[in-house]
Amino acid sequence: MRVTIFGSGYVGLVTGACLSDAGNDVLCVDVDADKIVRLKRGEVPIHEPGLEVLIKKNAEAGRLRFTTDAAEGVRHGLFQLIAVGTPPDEDGSADLKYVLAVARTIGEHMTEYRVVIDKSTVPVGTADKVKAQIAATLKQRGADVEFDVVSNPEFLKEGAAIGDFMKPDRVIVGTDNPRVTELLRALYEPFTRNHDRLIVMDLRSAELTKYAANAMLATKISFMNELANIAERVGADIEKVRVGIGSDPRIGYSFIYPGTGYGGSCFPKDVQALIRSSNAAGHQPALLEAVEGVNERQKSFLVDKIARHFGGKLDGRTFALWGLAFKPNTDDMREAPSRTIAGRLWAAGAKLRAYDPVAADEARRVFGARQDLTICASAYEAVEGADALVIATEWQEFRSPDFDRLKASLKQPAIFDGRNLYDPQLLKRFGYSYYAVGRGER
């Protein structure tokens, strides 16, 4: 099948690589000429395990191409996928200007039937706006061309996106046209052969499903962080509580790990957008507002522990920071807890020696050149001469360090673990002051 994807960001590139790997003829369109030049050279602008190899393989096979020519994109594909960004507006609502710009472009250039697919995470009612924009543009041209608009939200986890696309839990299709359902079933058939995972519903329900999924996961994270704060004050160990409740199949173990709060490009933006959509519809979403509030507070709690340990005197101190990305296996630092931690430590006059396995370049872009920040080449380099170690991301290589070596490198043996990587009793035997999340030590 011939597929056009507007937007060569995270969703667009993963979708394009996976669809082309199944034999489809995919053309990715983007307005960023520099990005397209880099992609044509085989340079992938994001870190996602397996993505670079998949893009290279299918580009060399001629099944995956990149262009800035929007007209060529509209001519190319029966399927026109919209995978552009929907950044939060000033009030937190999703900004649809890029989505509607693509809809306008499709309307300007299409001459035969097209299936327009919303892959971007968008508020309920966006498909109607896309349909209206295309229809209005066609009317301005005096053209009468049939088209359908489909909601087909993505459910890709950063760091595991290739596997999520190749073996999806579900494929949500929002449409009011049975013919479109069969076309989408054919497009996704290579990825759902073992079990039909296509779930068909109306457009608005499909749009809400994406927001609902992310809001539910964010809620689980904030709930566990709230429990962790309670555990600290009553002398309980949240990790033992987690195992106790996770063994209940109605709850499960997924997304009940306490930490420094959620970040990334999805949860913060989508929870905010759902709150704004709910308010606009006349309902105050008290639970979602609490989820967001707990998360913002949680991003700062580690700094509060650091300040208490050092008697509030952080000026002139140096801290090693392990982990900059918002989660492992990605270089994405959008809304990452590390940014809040760094900002508060800098505001208190401290310096940072930071290390992340893949996000060093992104950190340099985000933070710029600063005299109070050193980006280190290894975890052990980061701790050299530091007053204490702060852990913000649970990278695998942080899980079993040489504690004797760490102790020798640090000015004092203090670890502030925002991801509960270590056993508190083990760290005490090594002579550390160890502060974690919800483990009875404030």
- Residues making up the chain, counted from first to last: 442
Q: For residue 118, give Cα distances in angstroms to 129, 206, 232.
A: 11, 10, 44
Where are the extended beta strands (E) located within 24-113?
25-29, 64-67, 79-82
**CA–CA separation, 198 and 183 (whole Å):** 12
**CA–CA separation, 100 and 276 (whole Å):** 19
Q: What angle do CA 132, 136, 138 make, to 5 degrees?
A: 120
Q: For residue 257, give Cα distances in angstroms to 219, 239, 394.
A: 12, 8, 11
**CA torsion, ordered 274, 121, 217, 276, to nearest 10 deg:** -10
Give which of 327, 279, 284, 122 is closest to 214, Cα–Cα: 122
Phi, psi of 89 (to 5 degrees): -75, 180
Instruction: Identify the helix (H) or strand (E) that includes residue 423.
Output: none
| Cα atoms in the 13 Å half-sphere on the side-chain side of 412 | 12
**CA–CA separation, 244 and 188 (whole Å):** 39
**CA–CA separation, 65 and 8 (whole Å):** 11
**Residue 18: active-site member:** no
Grouping H, G, I as helix, E, B as strand and the rest as coil, residue 319 is strand
Residues annotated as part of the active site: 266
